[in-house]
Amino acid sequence: MSVQFKKSDQEEMNKWLSGNKQFTCLFRATRDGCDATKFHSLCNNKGPTVTIIYNTNNSVYGGYTSVSWANTENWQTDGQAFLFRLYQNGNWKPVQLPVIDPSHSIYDASSQGPTFGSGHDFLAFASTTIWNGTYFQSDGYVTPGNAYSANGETSDSITGGSKQLKEIEVYLVEDKPGNAPLEEPWRKTPKWNKKYFEELKEKVEKYKPLKELNVQQARVLLVGQVGAGKTSFFNTINSVFRGYITRQACSGNAEHSLTTVYRMYQIRNSASGKALNFRLHDTRGLEADQGMDAHGTCYLLDGNLPDRFQFNPSAPVTPDITGFVATPQFADKIHCVVFVIDGSTVDVIPEKVIEKMKGFQIHMNQRGIPQIVLLTKIDKVCESTSEDLSQVFFSPVVQETVDRVSQILGLPRSNILPIKNYESEIELQDNVNILTLLTLQQILNSADDYMFNYLDQIEDGKLQQLNIRE
């Protein structure tokens, strides 16, 4: 293991920092001396920093603070600070210990090196220590569980039990220069304001599938990894039309899918109470080793499965299930598939989950069903977008993420739609509403494309070709 802060380590750090940051070394003990005065002279008033220790047991750990070091001789408040471990005795074992008492996040004393938490939870070093040719014998320590959550860890599990430090580094953490908003948006939309919102809302409210096909409601299937935000998307759309934040459907974080029952959600106009002319079909989250087989997928696409069907990941779906729709009409079938992908974890989607999605795509392509990708959690991908959602199409990071997903699933970039669901909000926000409606409109347009193609097929007398079943 090298003592450098490697690219893969930086990527892990970027996940914890929810961004695309660059790291510039301000202080390196083997170069600058293990000395508090030197540390402060090189690191004070610079901005957010990450302190990293490499010890002789090949454990790598440290702390992040978004507050500048400044010799204030006092505690500093920082709700974003955290401690972490990257390697334990040379093994990749990343863990984050978030701050639980932000008012004691760092102790900023001129006589001490980087110091985090009351207690302290983590002291890199206090006294000046001389390099003995192999390591610094540090007087620092790690005792998590005071101002930082121990998260099940102990001093020994973080440090591997060694106080012999091969290196102590402090890096400045900054946004990559490429994160600066673009001058021209990468996707053009009309100006985001109340009028635009009303227009979009009215269009969706007035949406009707092709009347020649006798379809009352377009059916949109939401599929994707556990926790990607499928159910939250329904809740977000529902909130827009209800006029207040609702959590009608249960969403959240769990090891396995929180959604276990197939639901064909309706959305109602708040004034009339009438259902709008589309349904969102919410499914169980995909997992690397669990989920639907090819038959199950075809049943989903072809409208064979009933509302409230209980997914059972360990048993294949068969026509014997209660409520199986043996002869679904065109109106029962799926008219557009939406792959829901967590934008903040695109780089770490398990290979098996990607394979599963690609496997699904084969069945969709055979049926000519349009595929859209909903890229959720963009508030966690880009800071400026998180602060002001109307910046989404000016964000190079969101644009890059869209490009990556387009390559992964082999879909045109125009089919990849970034979104931010309601999650912690208690009041509706104009920009969230606008982006949601804009996205929904694209989805409904795609469902229409499918129906127009179907109508063409009927008129050409080639209908059988669409009734595929393997």
Ligand X SMILES: Nc1nc2c(ncn2[C@@H]2O[C@H](COP(=O)(O)OP(=O)(O)OP(=O)(O)O)[C@@H](O)[C@H]2O)c(=O)[nH]1
Give the nearest distance from C-beta 257 to Mg ion in angstroms.
6
- Beta-carbon contacts of 3 under 8 Å, excluding residues fewer than 6 positions away, are 54, 166, 167
Nearer to ligand X, 425 or 456 (CB): 425
Nearer to ligand X, 9 or 379 (CB): 379
Size of residue set near ligand X by CB under 6 A: 24
**Looking at 121, 382, 420, 440, which residue binds ligand X (CB under 6 A)?**
420
* Using rule CB under 6 A, residue 423 touches ligand X: yes
* Using rule CB under 6 A, residue 297 touches ligand X: no
CB distance 140 to 124 below 8 Å: yes
Binding partner of 377, given Mg ion, ligand X, none, CB within 5-8 angstroms per partner class: ligand X
- Which residues on neighbouring strands pair with residue 464, listed in sequence order? none
CB distance 3 to 57 below 8 Å: no
Burial label, 290 (beta-carbon count in 10 A; 0-12, 13-18, 19+): middle
Residues from 171 through 230 that contact ligand X (CB under 6 A): 224, 226-230
**Looking at 112, 159, 251, 297, which residue binds ligand X (CB under 6 A)?**
251
For Mg ion, which stretch binds (CB under 5 A), given 108-116, 136-144, 229-237, 336-344? 229-237
Structure token digits, residue 180 = 């600066």
CB distance 224 to 286 below 8 Å: yes
Give the nearest distance from C-beta 134 to ligand X in angstroms.
45
Q: Where are the beta strands (DSSP E) in 158-314?
A: 164-175, 218-224, 263-268, 275-282
For ligand X, which stretch binds (CB under 6 A), given 3-11, 88-96, 183-191, 245-253? 245-253
* Using rule CB under 6 A, residue 257 touches ligand X: yes
Structure token digits, residue 339 = 């792959």
Nearer to ligand X, 121 or 379 (CB): 379
Binding partner of 420, given ligand X, Mg ion, none, CB within 5-8 angstroms per partner class: ligand X
* Using rule CB under 5 A, residue 231 touches Mg ion: yes
Per-residue binder mask for Mg ion (CB under 5 A), 30-49, x = binder: --------------------
Query: In b/e form, how buried is each residue of 232-247, taking b as 16+ CB within 10 angstroms?
Result: bbbbbbbbbbbeebee
Residues from 364 through 403 that contact ligand X (CB under 6 A): 376-377, 379-380
**Strands 371-376 vs 336-342: parallel, antiparallel or unpaired:** parallel
Nearer to ligand X, 338 or 340 (CB): 340
Give the nearest distance from C-beta 248 to ligand X in angstroms.
12
* Using rule CB under 5 A, residue 259 touches Mg ion: yes
- Beta-carbon contacts of 392 under 8 Å, excluding residues fewer than 6 positions away, are 378, 382, 385, 398, 418, 420, 435
Nearer to ligand X, 38 or 242 (CB): 242
* Using rule CB under 5 A, residue 421 touches Mg ion: no
Give the nearest distance from C-beta 297 to Mg ion in angstroms.
18
Give the nearest distance from C-beta 276 to ligand X in angstroms.
20
**Given CA atoms 433, 411, 335, 232 in this order, what sign does their dihedral have?**
negative
- Single-letter code of the amino acid located at 249: A
Alpha carbon of residue 42 to chain centroid: 35
Measure the CA–CA gap between 189 and 333, rounded to whole angstroms. 31
Give the nearest distance from C-beta 220 to Mg ion in angstroms.
15
Which residue's entry shows tokens 């939406």? Answer: 338
* Using rule CB under 6 A, residue 287 touches ligand X: no
Nearer to Mg ion, 52 or 340 (CB): 340
CB distance 284 to 340 below 8 Å: no
Binding partner of 57, given ligand X, Mg ion, none, CB within 5-8 angstroms per partner class: none
Question: By three-state DSSP, how is residue 402 classified?
Answer: helix
Q: Which residues of the shown chain bind Mg ion in the complex (CB under 5 A)? A: 230-231, 259
Q: Which residues of the shown chain bind ligand X in the complex (CB under 6 A)? A: 224, 226-232, 251-254, 257-259, 285, 340, 376-377, 379-380, 420-421, 423
